[in-house]
Amino acid sequence: MSPRSGERTDSDRLRARLKVVRSSATVLRHLRRRSSRFVRSPLTPLERSLVARRFGADALDRSLRRLARASERIRSLARQTESELARATGRTSAELGERVRAFYGRLASHVREIDDDLDRLEAIDRFLSERPAIDPARPTVVVAGFPNVGKSSLVARLSSARPEVAPYPFTTRSLQVGHADLGFDRLQVVDTPGLLGRADRTNPVEDEALVAVEHAATIVVFVIDPTESCGYPLAEQERLLETFRRLRPNVPIVEVETKSDVRRRPSGRLSVSAVTGEGIPELVARIEREIAAQPRPPPPPVDHDGATD
């Protein structure tokens, strides 16, 4: 072999190694980006449960595990091919090209194997980014009840949230959160989609309300529409309230009858109107009392390098 062709093979080998290093680094960066959101900020119990209900139990962890395994396989494939190319003196550039193409083929097949997982992680990421941030360390009121009873109207009265209000069921289709000042603390007020009270079959929209009650509620404000203009009989609404009592026996439930501007009856419950504001100060006072009676969440960890607040 002439010195010139030897030099060319050296530079061909270097180019081939660079192709392996660059392409694997690009793919690995892409995979890391897909999983980094979940690694950087672990999900709250509420988010975990929302994701499990919508995408299946363990779907997130399974996809993350498969991604981690594929990344490891790609890293080792790249290392192996690169060291093989480093030792491949005397190969023609056609042979080197063939080796790089074989590497691309195996790289692509590793990525194809996790195509579904990448799609799933992207969908979960999008799903979570469309949900409000609910801080598990802050007191949280979850407003729940049948569809169309006036939950969102009440949330708008109680907090900074401005949810959509409309005269038909399932206007609210996912969790919304507003805030209200509670002495020196900030209260989170969560609006939920309506529940139809069928224990055996809920739809994904209803699931969000159940998950919020189960995983985010310091207290629940249960809204009953005694006018039945929501379209659901009182007896069914009362049955749902019973289900709630069983679901979270330790979470206080504040029972509220709304639309008092249309109908008010002696029920022993708080009577409010989101239209006139009647009963709202009493409801706020009751919420404050119930929250104050709950155990406080643990204080934030002390920062030894500086101030704690």
Ligand X SMILES: Nc1nc2c(ncn2[C@@H]2O[C@H](COP(=O)(O)OP(=O)(O)OP(=O)(O)O)[C@@H](O)[C@H]2O)c(=O)[nH]1
Query: Which positions from 192 to 211 touch ligand X by CB under 6 A, shown as an x/- string?
Result: -xx-----------------
Q: Which two tokens stand for residue 39?
A: 């690694």
Query: Which positions from 156 to 175 touch Mg ion by CB under 5 A, shown as an x/- string?
Result: ---------------xx---
136 binds, among Mg ion, ligand X, none (CB under 5 to 8 A by kind): none
Residue for token pair 């809204």 = 223
| Integer CA distances (angstroms), 89 to 19, 22, 77, in order | 17, 21, 20
Q: Which stretch binds ligand X (CB under 6 A): 123-131, 231-239, 254-262, 299-307?
A: 254-262
CA-CA-CA-CA torsion sign (207, 66, 133, 156): negative
Single out the residue of 19, 67, 150, 187 in contact with ligand X (rule: CB under 6 A). 150
> Counting contacts by CB under 6 A, is residue 261 touching ligand X?
yes
CB 156 within 8 A of CB 190: no
> Counting contacts by CB under 6 A, is residue 262 touching ligand X?
yes
Q: Residue 110: which of 160, 76, 156, 150 has the closest Cα?
A: 76
> Counting contacts by CB under 6 A, is residue 148 touching ligand X?
yes
Q: Which two tokens stand for residue 149?
A: 């009873």
184 sits in which H/E element: none
CB 28 within 8 A of CB 75: yes
149 binds, among ligand X, Mg ion, none (CB under 5 to 8 A by kind): ligand X
Q: How far is the CB of 290 from Mg ion (least distance, A)?
A: 22
Angle among Cα 232, 235, 239 to the nearest 5 degrees reads 100
Site for ligand X in 151-190 (CB under 6 A): 151-153, 165-167, 169-172
237 binds, among ligand X, Mg ion, none (CB under 5 to 8 A by kind): none
Q: Residue 79: which of 21, 124, 148 has the closest Cα?
A: 21
Q: Which stretch binds ligand X (CB under 6 A): 58-66, 90-98, 149-157, 197-205?
A: 149-157
Q: How far is the CB of 214 from ligand X (least distance, A)?
A: 18
Judged by the rule CB under 5 A, the positions of this chain that interact with Mg ion are: 152, 171-172
